[in-house]
Amino acid sequence: MHLIAVFRRTLNNNNLKSFSELGVSKSFIKGLDELKIQKPTEIQERIIPILLQQKTDIVGLAHTGTGKTAAFGLPILQNIDPKDKKIQALILAPTRELCQQIQKQLFRFTKYSEKIFSEAVYGGAPIDDQIFRLSRPTHIIVATPGRLLDLLERKALSLEHINTIVLDEADEMLRMGFKQDIDKILKNVKSQRNIWLFSATLPNGIQQLIKRFLKPNAPRVQVKNISEVNQNIQHQYVLSPGVDKLKLLVYFLNAHKEDRGIIFCSTKASAQKLSRDLNQKGLSIDVIEGDMTQKERNKVLRAFRAEKLQFLVATDVAARGLDIPNLAFVAHFELPDQLEFYTHRSGRTGRAGNTGLSVSFVDDKQYKDLVKISKELKFSLKMAK
C-alpha cells in the first residue's frame, strides 16, 4: 500500500525539484512540511522561481487542486518585509470561504517564520469587526472585491504600499459579476505593482483583463489540461430514470459506507431537498448552498472536515474552490450546467496520488449530455458496476 503510494507520487512528480531548490526559505519549508507539502506540484515548480527571482506580472492557468495557493503564497510571503507594518500585498478571491482558506494557508506556512500578519475580509460578515482587525498591523489582505471597495471607501485600509496583487480564480470572479469592482481596484493602485493572475480558464473577459492591466511581456504558465490532471479519476455513470434516481443514489451511498464524498446538485432548492431526502434514509449528511449564511456553511464544513458527517450535498458555487482533502468520490445527482463545473466537481477527488471516482446519475437524455462532456474533457466513461 505504502509502496504504491510512493510510486504514484514519484510518477506524478517525476523530476520535480525540492522547495529549497526553488528558492523557498527554510523558515517556510518547516511549516510546509507539517502540512505534508514536501514536493512541489508542477505549477509550484514552474511559478515559484520566476516570482522569487524577478519583479514581474504573471498569468497562471491551472485547474483546481493543482496547488496554486502555495505557488503564489510562498513568493508573496517571501517578498514581505515583516518590519514594515504597511499592507504590502493584496489577494483577491471570489468567495469568503476561499479568502478564509487562503488566509489560513498563509498563516500555516508562517508557523516557523518571522511573524507575517494577514487578514481575510469578505462580504456577508460584520464590517466593523473587519475594520477593527485592519487597525492592527497587517502585511497581507485577502479579500473579495466588493468588500475591499467598501473598506477602501471607509478608509479602513490603504493600498498605497501594495507591491503585489493576486487575482485568484479570476474567471470565477468575473463569472460572479466582480468585473467592475476589479477594474476599479486595479485602476486605483500605483503603476509599479505586479499583478499575478490565476485562472482555470481563459474566457474573453480574462483576456481583456490581461491586456488591459498586465504588462505585455508577462510570462504565462499553463499546467496540463484537466484530462491529464484527472488521470487518477475514474469517470462512471449510473443509468437512473427519474423516479429511481434517489433510490439508486441511496444504494450507491450505502455501498460506500466506508468512504467520504460530495453529492452535487445544480440548484439550491434541489440540494436542500436531496439533503432532506437522504437524511430521512438515515445517512450522515448535510448541505452547503449559496443561500445559507456563512455561519451555517462553516458549521457544516467543519463537521464534514472533522469527519462527523460522512457525505455532503453541495451546489457548484458553494463548493467552488473549497479544499476538502481525501474524498473517495464525487457524485453528480444533477449534471452541471457548465463544462468547467464538471471539472471542478471532479477535482475534489483523485488528489495527491489517490484514486478517485466521479459518478453521474443520469437518465437517457442526461446520458447524452454526459457523453458530450466526456468528449470535450477527453475522459473515458464507464458504466458503474
Q: Which does 356 bind (CB under 5 to 8 A by kind): Mg ion, ligand ADP, none?
A: none
Q: Which is nearer to Mg ion, 68 or 175 (CB)?
A: 68
Q: Which does 344 bind (CB under 5 to 8 A by kind): Mg ion, ligand ADP, none?
A: none
Sheet holding 356-362, edge to edge: 285-288, 311-315, 261-265, 329-332, 356-362, 233-239, 381-383
Find the shortest distance in angstroms from Cβ 121 to ligand ADP: 19
Q: Which is nearer to ligand ADP, 195 or 223 (CB)?
A: 223
Find the shortest distance in angstroms from Cβ 256 to Mg ion: 27
Q: Which does 67 bind (CB under 5 to 8 A by kind): Mg ion, ligand ADP, none?
A: ligand ADP
Q: Which is nearer to ligand ADP, 66 or 78 (CB)?
A: 66
Give the interface with Mg ion as residue ranges (CB under 5 A): 68
Q: Which does 44 bind (CB under 5 to 8 A by kind): Mg ion, ligand ADP, none?
A: ligand ADP
The gap from C-alpha 341 to its chain's centroid, in whole angstroms, comes to: 12
Q: Which does 360 bind (CB under 5 to 8 A by kind): Mg ion, ligand ADP, none?
A: none
DSSP-derived 3-state class of residue 11: helix
Angle at 137 between CA 20 and CA 28, to 5 degrees: 10
Which grid coordinates belong to 263? 453529492
Find the shortest distance in angstroms from Cβ 94 to Mg ion: 10
Which grid coordinates belong to 60? 497562471
Q: Which does 244 bind (CB under 5 to 8 A by kind): Mg ion, ligand ADP, none?
A: none
Q: Which is nearer to ligand ADP, 65 or 145 (CB)?
A: 65
CA distance 95 to 122: 7
Q: Which is nearer to Mg ion, 65 or 285 (CB)?
A: 65
Find the shortest distance in angstroms from Cβ 39 to ligand ADP: 6
DSSP 243: G
Find the shortest distance in angstroms from Cβ 131 to ligand ADP: 28
Find the shortest distance in angstroms from Cβ 62 to ligand ADP: 6
Contact predicate 243/225, CB 8 Å: no
Find the shortest distance in angstroms from Cβ 13 to ligand ADP: 8
Alpha helices (H) in the chain, listed in sequence order: 2-12, 19-22, 26-34, 42-53, 68-79, 96-109, 127-134, 145-153, 170-175, 179-187, 204-213, 226-229, 245-255, 268-280, 294-305, 316-319, 339-346, 364-377
Q: Which does 37 bind (CB under 5 to 8 A by kind): Mg ion, ligand ADP, none?
A: ligand ADP
How many Cβ atoms from other residues are within 10 Å of residue 339's Cβ?
14
Which residue shows C-alpha cell 463544462?
339
Q: Which is nearer to ligand ADP, 62 or 362 (CB)?
A: 62
Find the shortest distance in angstroms from Cβ 52 to ligand ADP: 16
Give the interface with ligand ADP as residue ranges (CB under 6 A): 35-37, 39-41, 44, 62, 64-70, 323, 325, 352
Report the Cα–Cα distance between both ends of the chain, in Å, rounded.
24
CA distance 141 to 185: 13
Q: Which is nearer to ligand ADP, 39 or 86 (CB)?
A: 39
Residues in a beta bridge with 61:
199, 222
